[in-house]
A and B are shown apart, each in its own frame.
Chain A
Amino acid sequence: MNTATAAGAAPVGAPASALLRVQDLVKVYPGGKRALDGVSFSVERPEVIAVIGSSGAGKSTLIRCINRLVEPSAGRVWLKETEIAGLPWRELRRVRRRIGMIFQEFNLVERLTVMENVLSGRLGSVGFMASLMRRFPPQDVSGAFALLDRVGLDGYHDTRADALSGGQRQRVGIARALMQRPDLLLVDEPTASLDPKTARQIMRLICALAQEHNTPALVNIHDVALAQSFASRVIGLKAGGVVFDGPPAALNAEALTEIYGAEDWSQTIRRVSDEDDE
């Protein structure tokens, strides 16, 4: 990856070892809603981190503030040694291509082919004319074929994205994100539009690929049981603040009440046996 974009020496307060560091992140939307209220955490090793919290707790805002699809109001974010907050537009594009994003609604460009969707992960690295004529470098094309094979869509490259099922679409979304060879994966509710079985397959695929590519993944997720069975670390958000940060095993009734409010949690807290349902 291109490290020449880093602005000089490592900034004060960012440990050289951190893959991602978020410090006192605040987002106030026009109209006064305080979606993030001083969020801080850092990711030291490539692992899958589940971000849980009730609707409106700030999960989506948090990951969108990291790649600045949403402009943070205050606070700082470092991806390795690059500070993201305050970067000018051109530099921001360079950082964005190092961050892959996977969406709840898949967000494939539906009228384009699967191959075009996967190759759109390289848009940050090719020129305008090349993207207009769909002339991608040979290594990108072969990389795209390899990823399609890896996510189980071998032979689908010329299918239009709107002809795929939900699970297949999310696999294309995953391939598109990994096509960027990212330093970080941002994953926004990857399973909320899928049936339970497909949801587990998709989560397993995301975790496996994050590990294969040695990439940390920040996964917003509603399903506590799914978070517990796939993540190695859980961050709980409540009203825009971090109220839990620890291993999934530490997620007891007390912690869940702190995150979501009082409820009978006995049915939720159980390690779902990771049976093979491929």
Chain B
Amino acid sequence: MSAAASYPTHWRRPPAFFGTRRRYWLFIGGVILYFAWSLSTLNIDVERMLAGLPRALDIFARMVPPDFSKGQLLLKGMLESLQMAFAATLIGAILAVPLGIAAARNIAPRPVYLAARGFIVLNRTFHEIIIAIFFVKLFGFGAVAGLLTLALSSWTFCGKMLAEDIENVRMGQIEAVRATGAGFAQTVVFSVVPQVLSRTVGVLIYRLDANVRHSTVIGIVGAGGIGQTLSASFSRYDYDFAAAILLCIAALVALGEWFSDWVRRKLR
């Protein structure tokens, strides 16, 4: 390599996302300016924040010791939350299978794909809380509204995850099964299902865990479960009972997380 000396010795990675270095620095400058402007207009009142501190201490003081004397009420709320979470996950999972297949670009016909994706996007536009408020208006206070909320969001969530897993399968394996003369359903059973099964079970367990957490929250807008009990105790300044509820929710969520971790470790 006698000509080595004439080659450049300096090289830098071309800017990937912004195209040019100028645009990159313009973007960084813009972010800094926006942040400064936001801080100056938000009226962050340090005095008010400090005034909140003694009130927080007061609430915490009244939370101790937690009051477990209304165990019946507590247990009923927890069970309702759990039942909501389990039933909603099951309903969502069953409905998610056809939705996931329909929303997979690589195996569904184009119009079916577009309709299914549209449905998913529309559903995911609204947070669970908003859907819960709507369902409480439709079906009244209680667990029915909560169950329907969680089932609807589990349906679209699991459907979307399943569709994305199906879109990532190896097409060669599908092609090979198709080439044997298998029909559509057989192709799904013999080449798509084996490729997505373990990931899908993982998603379901994760969703069950998430539903347990969500079920404790949506009760606050009246959709049943322990959240409704919690919300009622707060509005009655019943802080020691609220503390007992919070402890139980924490224990339940931790248990759910541990269970979902354990199952997904087993799946690998």
Indicate, yes or no, whether A interacts with B: yes
Residues of A within 8 A of B (CB): 67, 69, 93-101, 103, 105, 107-112, 116, 120-125, 128, 131-132, 173, 176, 180, 186
Interface size on B, residues (CB 8 A): 21
A100 to B185, CA, bound (A): 20
- Name the one of B179, B183, B194 contacting A111, with C-beta atoms under 8 angstroms: B194
Q: List 30 A-B contacts (CB under 8 A).
A: A69-B175, A69-B178, A69-B179, A96-B178, A96-B180, A96-B181, A97-B181, A98-B181, A99-B179, A101-B176, A101-B179, A103-B172, A107-B172, A109-B177, A110-B170, A111-B194, A111-B195, A112-B190, A112-B194, A116-B190, A123-B180, A123-B181, A123-B186, A124-B181, A128-B183, A128-B185, A131-B182, A131-B186, A173-B176, A176-B176
Contact B194 A120 (CB under 8 A): no
Contact with A along B162-201 (1 / 0, CB 8 A): 0000000010110111111111011001110011011000
Q: Known contacts A112-B194, A131-B190; is A107 also within 8 Å of B173 by CB?
A: yes
Is A132 a contact of B189 with CB atoms below 8 Å?
A: yes
The answer to whether A120 and B180 touch across the interface, beta carbons within 8 angstroms, is yes
Q: In the complex, what residues of B have CB within 8 A of residue A173's CB?
A: 176
A96's nearest neighbour on chain B, judged by CB, is B181
Q: Is the CB of B181 within 8 A of A93?
A: yes
With a cutoff of 8 Å between Cβ atoms, the chain B residues found around residue A108 in the complex are 173, 176
Contacts of B176 in A (CB 8 A): 101, 103, 107-109, 120, 173, 176
Chain A residues lying within 8 Å of B198, measured Cβ to Cβ, are 111
Q: Which 4 A-B pairs have the closest CB atoms?
A: A124-B181, A97-B181, A107-B176, A123-B182
Contact A120 B182 (CB under 8 A): yes
Give the complex CA separation of A135 and B194 in angstroms: 17
> In the bound complex, what is the Cα–Cα distance between A107 and B194 (angstroms)?
13
- Chain A residues with CB under 8 Å of B173's CB are 107-110
